[in-house]
Amino acid sequence: MSGTLHVIGTGPGNPDQMTPETLKAVEASTAFFGYFPYIDRLNLKPHQRKIASDNREELSRAKAALNLAASGETVCVVSGGDPGVFAMAAAVCEAIDAGPDAWKEIDLVVTPGVTAMLAVAARIGAPLGHDFCAISLSDNLKPWDVITRRLKLMAEAGMVIALYNPISKARPWQLGAAFDLLREVLPATVPVIFGRAAGRPDEAMLVMPLGEADANRADMATCVIIGSAETRVIARPGKPDLVYSPRFYSGEKT
C-alpha cells in the first residue's frame, strides 16, 4: 500500500512565516528529505528522522523520498521558501513523470509556502503590486542565452523582475551582466532592491537605482527585485524608503 509524500516549504527562514498547513504536514510525517539547512529549521521529534543531502542533489533526493513513500511511509520533502518556486515540487514531479507506476499511486500533497520575493516585497513596500515575473539567474539547468533573452523581453514588456539565485562562487559575473543588459532597456532611475535573508536576524534591505546597482551587494541569500519604469520610491524622513509598483498603468516613462 502506497503512503503519502508531503512537499513543503519552510518559508524564507523566519519560523513565523511557516504556514499552519506546513506545520501539520511536518507533524504527520516520519521521514524528512532535504538540504541540510532547510531540515534544520524544523523542530523534529525523536521518532522523526532526517535524510539530509547537498543542495544539488534534488532529483536523487526526490527519488529516494518517492521510494520510501511507495513502501507505505508518510514522507516529507523539505524546501526553503515555497516548494513550487525553483524548488523541490518540480523535482518530485519530474521523478514521478519518468519513474515507475508505483510512484504515480502515491498521495502527493504540495503545501504552499512564502517564497523569497514575497518576503522581500513585504519588507520594502509593494514592488510586486503590478505585473511581475520571477527568473533564476542560475545556468545550471538552462543556457545563459535563454536567461538573457527572457530578461530583455520581460524588461521590454514592463514587468517587475524578481531574480533568484543571483550570484554564487561559481557564477560571480552573471548578476553584473544582467544589470548591464537591463540598463540598455530600462531607465537608470529604476529602483533595484537587494533583499537579503528576509525575516531572519541577519536581514538586510538595500535600494539603489539601476544605473548604480552593484552586483557585489548580493549573495546566494539575496533575492534581487528590479522595478519597472512604473515603480516608485517614497522617501520617508526618519524611516526606510517605500518601494511600490502602482496598480494602474500610466504609460511608458522616458
Query: Is 90 exceeded by the pLDDT of residue 253?
Result: no
For the stretch 115-149, pLDDT in tens is 999 999 999 999 999 999 999 999 999 999 999 99
Q: 1 pLDDT exceeds 80?
A: no
Quick one: pLDDT at residue 237?
Answer: 94
**pLDDT for the residue numbered 54:** 87
**pLDDT per residue as tens digits for the range 183-195:** 999 999 999 999 9
Q: Is the pLDDT of residue 251 over 80?
A: no
In this predicted model, what pLDDT tens digit does every residue of 2-56 receive, in sequence order?
899 999 999 998 999 999 999 999 999 999 999 999 999 999 999 999 999 988 8
Q: Any idea where the domains of the chain sit in the sequence?
A: 4-110, 116-244
Query: Does 116-244 match 4-110 at the fold level?
Result: no
Q: Is the pLDDT of residue 254 over 80?
A: no
Residue 2's pLDDT is: 82
Confidence at residue 144, expressed as pLDDT on a 0 to 100 scale: 97
Q: What is the pTM of this model?
A: 0.94
Q: Into which CATH architecture does domain 116-244 fall?
A: 2-Layer Sandwich (3.30)
What is the secondary structure of the chain as a DSSP string?
---EEEEEE-BSS-GGGS-HHHHHHHHH-SEEEEEHHHHTTS---TT-EEEEE-TT-HHHHHHHHHHHHHTT-EEEEEESB-TTSSSHHHHHHHHHHHS-HHHHTSEEEE-----HHHHHHHHHEETTSSSEEEEE---SSS-HHHHHHHHHHHHHTT-EEEEES---SS-SSHHHHHHHHHHTTS-TT-EEEEEESTTSTT-EEEEEEGGG--GGG--TTEEEEE--TT-EEEEETTEEEEEE--SS------
pLDDT at 63: 98
Q: State the pLDDT at residue 252.
A: 55
Fold of 4-110: Cobalt-precorrin-4 Transmethylase; domain 1 (3.40.1010)
The sign of the dihedral angle between the CA atoms of 167, 173, 178, 183 is positive
Percent of the chain with pLDDT over 70: 98
CA 220 distance to own-chain centroid: 11
Distance CA 45, CA 58 (A): 24
Mean pLDDT of 93-112: 97
Tens of pLDDT, residue by residue over 222-248, are 999 999 999 999 999 999 999 999 999
